[in-house]
Structure 1
Amino acid sequence: MSTKSSPHTTPPTASSAVRRRRRTGTTGRKRVSAPRPEPAPTVPETWSERLRHYLPFAAAPSVVAALAVVALCLALVLLSGSPMAYLPAAIGEMWLVSHGVPATFDGVTLGLTPMLPPVAVAALVAQRVRVATRKRVSILDLGAIAALGLGIPLTLTFIALFMVTDASAVYPLAPPHPLAAVLLPLVVHGLGMIVGIGPIVWRALARRVGAPDVVIDTARTASAIVVRLLAAAAVVFLGLLIAGGERVSTLIDAFPTLPGTGVATLIALSILYLPNAVLAMLSAMLGGSLEYAGASASLFSVDPVALPPLPLFAAVPGDAAVWAPVLMLVPAAVLAHFFATRECSVKEVLLAAAWAAVILFVLMPFGAGGAGAYGYIGAHPVATPALVLGWVAAIGVAVLLIARLRHPAAPEPEPEEEPEPEAVEASQSEKPTGGSTKWVPPTDDGGHAG
């Protein structure tokens, strides 16, 4: 057994621990480093910097729409077994139709284009513009956004128009009218930009040009009114479509034989044309009519004319029901509830009605149009905005008057009469000058009462 022992290890003393902390710079506690300040965002100052900064926001909607058009056209060409030579013409025509531009095939012009694609494009543009203008922007920044947001789709539109014009020499299609082909895509993207810019920026712009804030506020009020009316019309239309289920099968039977792809195409077309049908339904609920093939259908009468073979037309009955005019109470209730929950003046109501009419007037070219032998299909392009103007103004003013009759404004309090100067001087002379707070009346001998 060895007698050697291991070397003795002395425990660390407190002084050695202190010296070690001094050398290492630690105190035994976990060091928490202060958060580094985030670098301030770079503000574009020149035009080139602004264009580079806002290019991703402005180009995204056009790029997404173009890629969707290319993918859809490629799928259609491959599924239909058509030659790939059709692809450029199909891409160009699809880009134009997706922005509401009429298309012409074999001498037949389709002006009634689906409304859902332009609405989707405008919504995408509005979302990207809202993100781009979320922080503080200047007039030059808005100019850069507008230049990019309109210049990119305009360039793509010219390319699509060239592709269609070039293909018209070989295939049975004709290029659309150049003015419509250029203006309608600009309107779609321009509306998206208008909706995407926030109200704070719009108020700043209004003050810059000397316009009152009520113009911007009533425009937002009108947009909310139009959205509510369209939502109510969509609910009523879907209800009528479900009630006319038998007519759906009748319209489908109008086609000779439909394979699985044909049924899918009809369903897709019905979904794409659903906003068109909702707009026509709103016109009928306001007292207007749906016009088609030289005839019309309203809540009061329906002309017995063969409808286009699209399942959406199953919501149009063979004749007007006796209870159909009751549906006019739906927009009346929507408008009455809207104005009853808000405090508006007569001026604001009238301005909101005018803005609502303008919005419907802008939407009409995308929701109606010609369809070959059927002629014009859709709501009347002038009567519908006029009906919206009258309904909003009439119901808004009526609700305002009823509210004032039920809750009259309290009369303003009458101003108190100011005392005459002599009375004021007399009252001041009667006040004591000493420390006593009680006035003692004088006696006849000039002294004071005891």
Structure 2
Amino acid sequence: MEERTRLLGESLKGLLEEGKMSASLALLDGLQPADAAEVLETLPYDDRLRIFKVWDVEESADALPEMSEGGQVEVMQGLARSLATRIISEMPPDDAVDLLADLPDKTSDGILASMSPFKAGQLRRLMAHGEDTAGGLMTPDAMRLSQEMRVGQVLERLREAPESVEMIYYVYFQDEASRLTGVSSLRELIVADLNRPVKEIMHGQLMTVAPEEDQERVAALIDRYDLLAIPVVDGEDRLLGIVTVDDVMDVLEEEAKEDIYGLAGTFEIEEQKERHPFIGVLLGRLPWVLIALTIELLVAGGILRAFSGRIRDNIALVFFIPVILTIGATVSLQSATRMTVEITTDPGKRRRFRRSIAGEALIGLGIGVLSGVVISLFAWSMKGDARLGWVVGLALVIATMFSALVGSLLPLLLKMSGRDPAMASEPFLTTLMDVLGLAVYFLIGIALL
């Protein structure tokens, strides 16, 4: 926690203890919504609830979406339904939908029933889309006007636009059938002649996404084409809403966390994590550990038993098993991490992926050759047997090259099969490389010793 947040939280708590509610609200009003939310989450639950019960509804609607999901749910469940309804009605539609989805069905249904029919219908339509799709991420409050207007008329409408319009930098134009036909930036409209038809300045070819498009793909498009927003259209090109860059930043942060946790084999069960953090984390990590343990016992153990006779005759082979396994696992994880980053940040460049895989294999070969020379000389000097040096060095070269190849291929294969590339996690890769490294090592040992 930042020092500033801690100090503000202590000041706010002190004001509440002294019964100075007006001063408490004034302190929060002077902060940005994100800062106010962070300060509020330092308070005990009862104090937070006291503030939201008397705080201005618009201020509450600005700060609440910046709080953690659990914090938002706690506040909503502690407020009277009428006040909770007013706050959610003031929130941006995409944030309101996210919060309603986190609430128990009975609570969210009650809040929707208390809203105006128009607002409730708008939110229900958004809730019909998948949470991780463009439809679930979009806001319907986009500036949409007729393509038959002139620039001066458009600017006049912009001046009259309600505050609920989230992205006014882009103005979208549609025909008589409400089909999206073009877009213009605010700058283009400001510098254009007021009597000029917008048809002459709008861009007719624009990037759009369908409501069922995955949020990760939407984020990649906005990032790749440097957009501030991207329109979401139905099958008839009618504008349903827009996904803005601030929503995409949240997606990128969420996906980055998932990928980092995934590479470490720490996927967590979100439903359990919210209610029982220990159980959620345990259930998320335990399967990978059990899979790794099973493979190690059955496969790796079987390889060791199969070569037990050769090991007894050449006990020095045992000394170098940790070296083969450690270097192989390290190289495979490095390759998997690099490929996962490439896939998640720029999923469209398949040709570059092929070059990356070939490059990783060459890097693995280079690491294997350099490491193999060093370890083979050490093995030779330790026992005075050149054949042992050849076995260890050659096994390290082959195992390292294949480790890099498998580590870079696995995330791509997972992505092509529709799975998260981060599932190529460290426990799984380490176990796979243990099996591969042992098999290569002892097969070469049989051939040369």
Asked if these proteins are the same fold (TM beyond 0.5), I'd say no
TM value normalised by structure 2: 0.24
| Structure number, greater radius of gyration | 1
Bigger proportion of residues as helix:
2
TM-score w.r.t. structure 1 length?
Answer: 0.24
